[in-house]
């Protein structure tokens, strides 16, 4: 009986220990990686929204987006490794351009068949601002982060416009 109770106590103690350590690791991760990043994007988003830079950017970019070549060019520009991390935070830019393009579609200025390539054209920068944190969440070593950040950014230069082409191919027969 005594032996059983001892064993039970040890087993429970073990599980509690594991859970407690898991919580400690989770808090550590949030304090070291997630919260600093949230602070940074909150500052950037606030600045972009409040100074009107966001609208100005979105206005300039949405002018491009009235045809397929324009959408491709839009994807190329947004996917540039220098711009993509800046345009990424909170998907603010993608959402603003998306709303502008939606307005144009609703007004009949943009062919609704282009909606699918447009969805890809406004978003080649998705997550480009978040690469170090995303990799850290996946427990990546510093060496991996060092290589992974440029790898994703370079890759987007190719796959950003490519996604627009794929979207265009899959839009055949849509709303026609």
Give the count of beta carbons closer than 10 Å to the beta carbon of residue 151.
Answer: 12
Q: Name the residue nearer to another protein (CB basis): 73 or 140.
A: 140
Give the Cα separation of 49 and 83 in Å (integer): 17
Q: Which stretch binds another protein (CB under 8 A): 5-13, 67-75, 77-85, 123-131?
A: 123-131
Q: What is the footprint of another protein within residues 126-145 (CB under 8 A)?
A: 126-127, 130-131, 133-135, 137-141, 143-144
Q: In whole angstroms, what is the distance from residue 17 CA to residue 110 CA?
A: 59
Q: How many chain residues bind another protein (CB under 8 A)?
A: 85
Among 7, 8, 63, 155, binds another protein (CB under 8 A): 155
Q: Under a CB-based contact definition with an 8 Å cutoff, are residues 93 and 58 in contact? A: yes
Residues 6+ apart with CB under 8 A from 65: 71, 74, 97, 101, 104, 110, 118, 121, 122
SS3 138: coil
How many angstroms separate the CA atoms of 11 and 117, rounded?
56
Q: For residues 3 and 40, which CB has a smaller minimum distance to another protein in the complex? A: 40
CB 48 within 8 A of CB 92: yes
Query: What does the per-residue mask of binding to another protein show for 63-102, with x meaning CB under 8 A?
Result: ---------------------------xx--xxxxxxxxx
Pick between residue 2 and residue 50 the one whose CB is nearest to another protein.
50
The DSSP call for residue 157 is: H
CA distance 72 to 63: 13
CB of 38 to another protein, least distance (A): 5
Residue 116 lies near another protein (rule: CB under 8 A): yes
Is 59 an interacting residue with respect to another protein (CB under 8 A)?
Answer: no
**Footprint of another protein on 4-43 (CB under 8 A):** 15, 18-19, 21-23, 25-27, 29-30, 34-35, 38-39, 41-43
């Amino acid at each position: 009986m005594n032996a059983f109770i001892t064993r039970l106590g040890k087993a429970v103690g073990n599980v509690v220990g594991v859970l407690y350590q898991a919580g400690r690791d989770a808090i550590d991760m949030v304090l070291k990686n997630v919260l600093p990043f949230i602070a940074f994007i909150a500052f950037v988003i606030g600045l972009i929204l409040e100074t009107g830079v966001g609208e100005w950017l979105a206005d300039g970019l949405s002018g491009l987006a009235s045809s397929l070549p324009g959408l491709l060019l839009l994807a190329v520009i947004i996917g540039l490794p220098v711009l993509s991390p800046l345009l990424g935070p909170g998907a603010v830019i993608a959402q603003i351009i998306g709303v502008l393009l939606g307005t144009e579609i609703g007004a009949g200025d943009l062919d609704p068949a282009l909606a699918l390539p447009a969805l890809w054209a406004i978003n080649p920068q998705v997550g480009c601002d978040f690469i170090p944190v995303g990799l850290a969440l996946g427990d990546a070593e510093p060496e991996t982060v060092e290589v992974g950040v440029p790898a994703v950014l370079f890759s987007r230069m190719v796959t950003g416009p490519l996604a627009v082409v794929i979207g265009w191919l899959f839009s055949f027969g849509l709303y026609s």
